[in-house]
Structures are given as C-alpha cells and as structure tokens.
Amino acid sequence: MYTLTVENLARFFGPRLVFKEVSFSLSSGQSLAVTGRNGSGKTTLLRLLAGLSSPSKGKISFSRDGQKLTRAEYRRSTSYVGPELTLYDNLTAVENLRFFATMRGVELDANSIERILADVQLAGRGGDFYGAYSSGMKLRLKYAVALLGDPALLLLDEPTSNLDEDGKRIVSEIIARQTATGILIIATNEKEEYGFAQKLYRVGD
C-alpha cells in the first residue's frame, strides 16, 4: 500500500506566489483531479510531485507500507505524462521504448514491446520515428513509456488533449487500471477528464 502525503505546499516564482497551503493525502486505489484557472499552478503542482522541481515551502512524502521512500525510490515509483514531455524524435517508437525500459530497470522482449504498442493502438508503427508521429500518436507512446514498470503514482497533465475517440478510450482504460492498484493525479479543467477522478482539488482559490 502506497501513500502520498502533501503538507502545506507552496510555490513561488521569484516574488510571485503561485499557490500556497496545498495539502492532501492519497493511498493506493485513490485518484485526484487538480483543477483551477489558467496560471493557478496545476502543472507546477504536478511537476513538484514528479520531483522535477522543489517546493518553496511544505513537504511531499511518499511511503510504502508506512516506510518512507528515498528520492531514488520515489522517482522509480512515479510516472508523469504532460504536454511538456518529449521523447526522442530521431529514435523509433521501439527504440524509445527499449531505452526508457532499460533506464527504468524493466526488461522487455519483442513480444512485450508488441503488446505494449498494441495496448496504445500503435501496433505495426513501432519502426516509425517518434518525430514522424502525429501529436496524438506521440501522446500514446508517452503513455506507453510512462506505464513501463507499473508506476505506483501516475501524474497526468491534460491527459486527453490531442487524442481522438480511440485515444480517449485508451486513456480511460489506463486510468481505470491505475486507480485499481496505484495512485492517480490528473491536472485538468475538462469536465470529461476530472470525471475520471474520485476526488477534486482546486488550486489557486
């Protein structure tokens, strides 16, 4: 059982306060949608939770069965998908998957790769360069990379933007699977997207 605890989090950019006093706690099987107006700090909050930047105040702790995880363990247990993320344009989808699998400590054989690509409806397109993909296909591959190793905490920023109906269905399946076993946090203002989550948290109010 994993537990994510966020206590009195605040983030400043220089003198400008983005948000303050953000606190919540989530355990495996729970999901949260973070909403708020543009510039309220939804993406900033997700970046803090992903370990990509540090909070100005407050603390984030992630524990497994009551045992606090180290920074390296936290990183290995967390995945983040957002518009700012880019995979390698001049590597193929299969090469990208293989590379990130190795970096996450996951062994992939040819069958696993085929299955992963089929899960995100990219079967038969594994040999194409990531740079040649459409924005929707790129997002699907980012999901495939993010799910390598079954992360305990999955952070999604605007999860269905640029996706067609099939893509949205894939995301809803991923979300259902994640909330069955892990923790899910979505940053969005789309009603359709925050409908995926069990709890709602509004930042910037």
DSSP symbol at 70: P
Torsion, Cα of 94, 95, 100, 104 (10° steps) = 80
Q: How far is the CB of 176 from another protein (least distance, A)?
A: 12
- Using CB under 8 A as the binding rule, whether residue 171 contacts another protein is answered as no
- Using CB under 8 A as the binding rule, whether residue 94 contacts another protein is answered as no
CB 29 within 8 A of CB 22: no
Pick 10 or 91: Cβ nearer another protein:
91
d(CA 25, CA 31): 10
CB 175 within 8 A of CB 159: yes
Pick 51 or 136: Cβ nearer another protein:
51
Which residues, 67 to 86, sit near another protein by CB under 8 A? Answer: 72, 75, 78-80, 84-86
- Around Cβ 154, how many Cβ atoms within 10 Å? 26
- Using CB under 8 A as the binding rule, whether residue 64 contacts another protein is answered as no
- Residue of the chain from 88, 164, 180, 195 that contacts another protein (CB under 8 A): 88
Q: How far is the CB of 185 from another protein (least distance, A)?
A: 15
Residue entry with tokens 């605890």: 5
d(CA 96, CA 88): 7
- Using CB under 8 A as the binding rule, whether residue 13 contacts another protein is answered as no
- Mention every residue, 6+ apart, whose C-beta is less than 8 A from residue 93: 117, 122, 125, 126, 127, 128, 130, 133, 141
Which residues, 17 to 46, sit near another protein by CB under 8 A? Answer: none
Tokens of 104: 């996450």
Q: How far is the CB of 98 from another protein (least distance, A)?
A: 8
Residue entry with tokens 């495939």: 144
- Using CB under 8 A as the binding rule, whether residue 14 contacts another protein is answered as no
- Using CB under 8 A as the binding rule, whether residue 123 contacts another protein is answered as no
- Residue of the chain from 114, 149, 162, 190 that contacts another protein (CB under 8 A): 149
Tokens of 7: 């206590």
Coil vs helix vs strand at 153: strand
- Residue of the chain from 23, 25, 102, 134 that contacts another protein (CB under 8 A): 102
Binding footprint of another protein on the chain (CB under 8 A): 50-52, 72, 75, 78-80, 84-91, 95, 98-108, 112, 115-116, 119, 142, 145, 147-150, 177
